[in-house]
Structure 1
């Protein structure tokens, strides 16, 4: 293969990323649920004909690092691809992450090839896929309790929809019309992605377009290896605690080894998978490690299969960070992924003290609310709530933002109140919740929901008794908390993990953690 022209390489980087971006815009604009339309809980990416990542949009880190496993699972399940095929899946043990994240994979044929030249994929968090509680993030102990499980299977075969599969799925969810609309939006995004890739091939030739997909992967690999060559060689260890229901904790241990332009993350010694839903499948652990390396290698290197190649992840099978069926995993995707990032950053603090920040809030503060509207229709709402970013070696942490493995927006109050029978009566920063230091950690948020009908509320959160850590003398941030205000005015402190049906008139107050401070505080509190 001839060497790449550097100008064309940069053009193709933006061309491929533009395809993924336009897929995401299409998915957002055509979706039905506020979770996708407003919060942007979605991700889109382009893969080559071998199923290797070529480009991704700047969507959700926890989705994108794991999506190669989804494409691999889809390819393993399909013997022969045809124009119009769409595979759908959400099984965490067959290419998925957790059940609400529904992934679609489609082949793209360009030129006269009878095998796919590319694949396009999308992942969207569906606000309900069945299971024990509305929102499909129940306090489960096995996967079947969490919702409808879809192994890799064709939803469209040569353009013909599998109506039996669709109806079976819709019959097992609480909000079937919303799910139907969101699935259709994902397919629309794939149509746009395929059209744009085919147009590139028509304009520039199939050989050039496919060649530059490989050039781009090689370029990213070279840049990551060059960046890693500047990191001090050695093995760096760290352990962090993940809070479990009932007051217990599980330990995540990692050893990061830098050597020969590569980095290996070994999670040997991490505790075994737990009885609850905080277990993570291996692609989630890989996502967290890829994310950290990307962030510490300038953050400007195109993310694709090449940028992942110098990064190896080892995790004991059956552990908290490499769970096996039938363990529940709903919280592993959202909570354990955050703690894996904290552990990996803690280890690399020893190698790169001038780059690694203090701990961010370390949780997604997952809240689901569901029930029946006065007109008899069902509703299911899901949201992650931002908090504080950890302060860095030369900057304060941001306040009231999503950090690390989540990259969503909030649901705007106006959109939320239009779609659901509850309202937000307070939404503001949580003063002084960030850790003190030479550089202050970011503050968390306060968000108060007033329920207008009886509602089942479920919350998965961490960093409650344990606080996000500071660095180099900076103080820890304030941990999070949740408070229930009963209709009669009584207040009740709620645990980090709870699920219960609340009467109309209840108010649920969520206070999210701040970020850790960096460096010892000065006497006057100024940097």
Structure 2
């Protein structure tokens, strides 16, 4: 290495800053509330070979997926076929590893005639075609029903947007205006990244910047191997279940054997259920992202995210299984549900080795709520949102209430934004009492969102932990299950499954209640003052305080 440690740290933070500025550009210029308000997007920087160097603090799942897609794209568009001003677009899960609404835009960065780096961003579009508004049908049986598949194609060549291609794509989605606006925001974000990288190269020189990017990856690898050496060697196995695929309610097994050996880790998903008919199949890219996140979270949460993590972790995903399906299996809800369960399984295995580094199970789903149709002016709209729930408690801390956990950390859409942009009325948005798992440290509470549609619409709900509760640890009790309800005008409130897509008339109210997090430690060990404060805050009822903790 020719870069001294001080220069390395300065440039590492500079690269991180570039990624963050790309993210700020994307969210501030996007048109759809899902990106500009919820920030359902991610940005990152890569070496010319497609190795991750720096990423903004956005969506863990996206950022674990993006190295997969960048490398695949570079196989189709090798550096010698790229030019300044190019941009490649892709959303095909069997290349990118995600689901169809996640559109990735990748741009080369040149210093003169030399490829300096790659910048990329990924954003969840509110509609990408398919059988239902929002492109998130819970009853899809093949990927063709989920929307338009975009192979790696140049959306921009030497600075000129491929208007014909963009027109074809926009013609096949319901919300064309938002599609145009969000694609332009993605291109703008990459343009900012390219300029900042070129400015950085002018200050440091190409060789110094190249050495720095490579050394960041080497540093991550060394640091992770050191952290893993502090985890007891051994083989740790854990199994958990998805609650059906949207077609069938049968439990779907996900199992992993995590082997720690000195400074390396091997995660083997042999024994996991075969791929299923419904849209919860997780591509290998999704599975890799989940494992990388879980290992980093347990071994060294402050570890810089880069290609160095992939060098340390070996992952076995048998083909044709839920965690590595074969085309054309549908995948839309793998990001929402299966990703969270894969993460739970890996964390559950690691908890056997280092229980004080792992939280109890959290809400277990990104809990997707999609409503779409036409408003009073007959314009298509698509409301897309994911909801948090209870975070699992850990050995010295309560779980957080009503937050996203594990593979996502999007923000919520403000009530005012929902009601301004869509023919919807938000009737309730609140934490749910007594949903956090009791324990010495209490699991976080779930939340409820109650929405009334003002015009006929198609609704898709997708959540988990409706049957299999979020598990507690070290004597902590599980969190409460999720629940979903519907009330048709003139009818009674009825409970519905956790995965459902259906058409509803105007005036229908849909209620989503997400699961709480598991508790940590026996409830009898909880500080009485903490119980009293929970009751005061409305997180625990007086009845539960007496029954679960023995306090009046």
TM normalised by structure 1 equals 0.98
Cα distance per residue 1:64-109 (max 9 Å; x no partner): 0110111012111114110111000000111241000000100000
- Contact persistence 2:439–2:525 (CA under 8 A): no
Deviation at 1:523, TM superposition (A): 7.1
Deviations 1:98-148 (A, max 9, x none): 0000001000001x3x34210000000001000010001112110000000
Q: Whole-Å Cα distance in 2 between the matches of residues 53 and 275 of structure 1?
A: 33
Q: Please, which runs of 5 or more residues in structure 2 have no aligned partner?
A: 531-552
Residue 256 of structure 2 corresponds to 254
| Alignment partner, residue 195 of structure 1 | 195
Task: Measure the CA separation in 2 of the matches of 1:28 and 1:84.
Answer: 21
Q: Which residue of 2 aligns with 1:449?
A: 451
Superposition map of 1:330-409 within 5 A: 330-409=332-411
What is the RMSD of the two structures over their aligned residues, measured on CA atoms?
A: 1.1
Which secondary structure does the structure 2 equivalent of 1:522 belong to? helix
2:186 alignment counterpart: 186
- Offset of residue 493 of structure 1: 0.6
Task: Show the counterpart of 2:13.
Answer: 14
TM-score by length of 2: 0.93
Structure 1: distance between partners of 2:315 and 2:481:
30
The answer to whether 1:88 aligns with 2:89 is yes
Instruction: Quote the offset at 1:159 in angstroms.
Output: 1.7
Residue 149 of structure 1 and its aligned partner are, at CA, apart by 0.2
Counting matched residue pairs gives: 524
Kept in 1: contact 2:224–2:300 (CA 8 A): no
Query: Are the counterparts in 2 of residues 428 and 445 from structure 1 also a CA contact under 8 Å?
Result: yes
Q: Work out whether residues 399 and 443 of structure 2, in 8 Å CA contact, stay in contact via their aligned partners in 1.
A: yes
Q: Is 2:527 the partner of 1:522? A: no
Shift of 1:53: 0.5
Tell me the residue number matched to 2:537.
none
Alignment of 1:185-334 (within 5 A): 185-244=185-244, 245=246, 246-334=248-336
Tell me whether 1:480 sits opposite 2:482 in the alignment.
yes
User: Deviation of residue 247 (structure 1)?
Assistant: 2.3
- Distance in 2 (CA, whole Å) between partners of 1:193 and 1:213 is 15
| Structure 2 equivalent of residue 512 of structure 1 | 514
Q: Deviations over 1:376-432 (max 9, x none)?
A: 110011110110000001111000101110110011111111111102111110011
Q: Deviations over 1:265-323 (max 9, x none)?
A: 10001010000000000010010011011111231111001132101111101100011
Corresponding residue of 2:505: 503
Instruction: Give the 3-state SS of the residue equivalent to 1:191 in structure 2.
Output: helix
Q: Which residue of structure 2 lines up, in the alignment, with residue 55 of structure 1?
A: 54
Change (3 A) 1:153 1:473: same
Using the alignment, how far apart are the partners of 2:77 and 2:309 within structure 1? 27
Q: Assess, with a 3 A threshold, how the Cα gap between structure 1 residues 231 and 342 changes in structure 2: closer, same or farther.
A: same
Distance 1:184 1:219 in 2: 35
Distance of 2:6 and 2:414 partners within structure 1: 41
Contact 1:70–1:96 (Cα < 8 Å) also in 2: yes
Q: Distance in 2 between matches of 1:166 and 1:219?
A: 41
Distance 2:449 2:527 in 1: 28
Of the three residues 417, 436, 439, the one matched with 2:438 is 436
Counterpart position of 2:109? 108
C-alpha distance in 1 between matches for 2:145 and 2:527: 50
CA contact (8 A) 1:72 1:95 kept: no
Greater share of residues in helix: 2
Q: What is the aligned partner in structure 2 of residue 144 from structure 1?
A: 144
Deviation, 1:525, is 6.8
Instruction: Report the Cα distance in structure 2 between the residues aligned to 1:212 and 1:271, rounded to whole angstroms.
Output: 43
Asked if 1 retains the 8 angstrom alpha-carbon contact of 2:97 and 2:286, the reply is no
Structure 1 counterpart of 2:31: 32
Structure 2 CA distance, aligned partners of 1:515 and 1:524? 16
Q: Secondary structure at the match of 2:190?
A: helix
d(CA) in 2 for partners of 1:456 and 1:316? 36
Measured in 1, the distance between the counterparts of 2:480 and 2:491 equals 26
Distance 2:6 2:416 in 1: 45
| Change in 2 beyond 3 A, CA 1:462/1:18 | same
Question: Which aligned segments of 4 or more residues in structure 1 are displaced greater than 6 angstroms?
Answer: none
